[in-house]
Structure 1
């Protein structure tokens, strides 16, 4: 079978013939049908990000959609031929205070995660891929949706976990900071699917915000940020009709804290702010304001298995608008072109490499 292999960061990817793996105990073998690409895939492959790589050579690739080709011993809830989503966020199933955790096909996370990362070092960019059964989710009820479209679930999973961690309740008002970004735009649609009464979409590009307003059915209000924290906070509060219940920060690589502070100060009393972005500077917390307003500050990494199950259920019920995502699909052999496209993608765009039946592997 064919697989894209990376010998070490900075070296070119190579499409090679590799031995067909057999699933170990507690694992499944998937025939991959569609794999979404992260916007920073090129920088990752070139070793420009501070990530802990799997031992090489390995196949990169995180999320994906595939069908079960074989099941290992000790797998009880899945069957051959079943279509599943790959969730690369794998935590050791051990009764310890802080189990080791990795993102399969991408990086180690916790300090002692190297052995875990090496145990399943290959990701989803291969025709046949083996994953721990704990990282796959059944897609029953979504038979009529193309795998390339379902691959967009990976775009929703991260912000969905943050919104659930922030306890977004039906009817509440939520402000999404970074709403024009890759994950932030998905956060707006996820908040709508979770029943938010109003979503205040924050960004610096009015044109990108306009698309979200169109999709919001009257529940999305845009605020174009100026960089003036006080003015932006006032604009958010006005758009929210007095303040927001939950603020969600999903800005990537921010070099100042003004937008995040504006989101914080837009909260009603007892409001919550969830941090899931990658700001490059310190966040100066207003101690007195936090105290007097009973504000809650929540740092969140990724999502839980229960979050992903709920995400799939919302997609199956039609409450999550997967068809709002602009999916660009490339054949498997054209991965380099797909990586370039992913790096240029904005907002509601998603880049996918797909198998025969979606588009040929090549």
Structure 2
């Protein structure tokens, strides 16, 4: 079979012919059909991000869609020929207070994740991928959707997990900070599918917000940020016609905390703010206002298995359509061009590598 390998950071990926993996106990062998690319794939491969690599050389690739080929001993809930989604978030299934966790095909998360990456160093950019059964999600009932379309599930899984952690209830008003970004746009559509009464789409560029307004059919209100916390807070509260029930922060590499603070201050009394972005600067939390307003601040990472199953159920029921995402499709052997394209991703766009002949 063929597989892409990162042999040295900063060098182009190498396409190699290798022996197919032998499926091990607790693992599943999957024939890959489509793999979505992260927008920061190029920077990651060049070693510009603070990520610890799996043992080199390894196959990168975090998510994917494929068909089960074989199961190892101890796997009880998958079958050959079954279509599945592969996701990278692997948490050790042991009775530990803080189980080790890793993002397969990408990096370690906890300080004790090196053993996980050594056991399963390879990601999804290979014709046959062997993964722990715990990171597979069954896609029964979705065979009518093309693999490339199903690959965009990864755009929704992360924000969907955060919205569920924030206890979004039907009819509530949600503010999404970073709505013009890759995962932020997914958060807006996820909130709508979960029954939000109104979604305030917050961003710095009006064009991607307008597309969300169109898809929201009257339930999405845009707020273009100006950079002043007080003015932006007032704009969000005005759009919400009062305070926001749940604010969801998916802002990227922000240089200041202004937009996050505006989302926080726009909360109604008893409101919640979920933090899932990648801002590196400090967030000055107003202690007194947090206390007086009963605000809840929630840091959240990724999603649970139950979250992913619920997301698939929404798609299966027709409550969340994946058709809103514009797919840029590239062949498996055109990976370098696909990585270049992924760097330019905006909002409701996704770069997908297809294994179809």
Matched, 1:223 2:223: yes
Matched, 1:139 2:125: no
CA distance in 2: counterparts of 1:161 and 1:265, whole angstroms = 23
- Residue in structure 2 matched with residue 47 of structure 1 by the alignment: 47
Matched, 1:85 2:85: yes
- Residue in structure 2 matched with residue 196 of structure 1 by the alignment: 196
Once the two structures are superposed, the pairs formed by residues 1-362 of structure 1 within 5 Å of their partners are 1-356=1-356, 360=357
TM-score (norm 2): 0.99
Cα deviation, residue 11, structure 1: 2.0
Cα deviation, residue 22, structure 1: 1.3
CA distance in 1: counterparts of 2:332 and 2:316, whole angstroms = 27
- Give SS of 1:322's match: coil
CA distance in 2: counterparts of 1:140 and 1:52, whole angstroms = 34
Cα deviation, residue 355, structure 1: 1.3
Cα deviation, residue 87, structure 1: 1.4
CA distance in 1: counterparts of 2:158 and 2:351, whole angstroms = 17
**Can you list the C-alpha shifts for 1:195-230, whole angstroms capped at 9, x where unaligned?**
100000001111111100000011000001000110
**Can you list the C-alpha shifts for 1:296-344, whole angstroms capped at 9, x where unaligned?**
0000000000000001111111111200000111000000000000000
- Give SS of 2:248's match: strand
Cα deviation, residue 8, structure 1: 2.5
**Can you list the C-alpha shifts for 1:31-53, whole angstroms capped at 9, x where unaligned?**
00000000000000000000010
CA distance in 2: counterparts of 1:88 and 1:312, whole angstroms = 16
CA distance in 2: counterparts of 1:118 and 1:47, whole angstroms = 19
CA distance in 1: counterparts of 2:139 and 2:280, whole angstroms = 37
TM-score (norm 1): 0.98
**Can you list the C-alpha shifts for 1:93-140, whole angstroms capped at 9, x where unaligned?**
110100000000000000111011111000000000000001101100
CA distance in 2: counterparts of 1:204 and 1:264, whole angstroms = 17
**Can you list the C-alpha shifts for 1:134-187, whole angstroms capped at 9, x where unaligned?**
110110010110000000001111111110100000000000000000100000
Runs of 4+ with >3 A deviation: none
Unaligned ranges ≥5, structure 2: none
- Give SS of 2:323's match: helix
CA distance in 2: counterparts of 1:241 and 1:110, whole angstroms = 41
CA distance in 2: counterparts of 1:313 and 1:118, whole angstroms = 33
Aligned length: 357
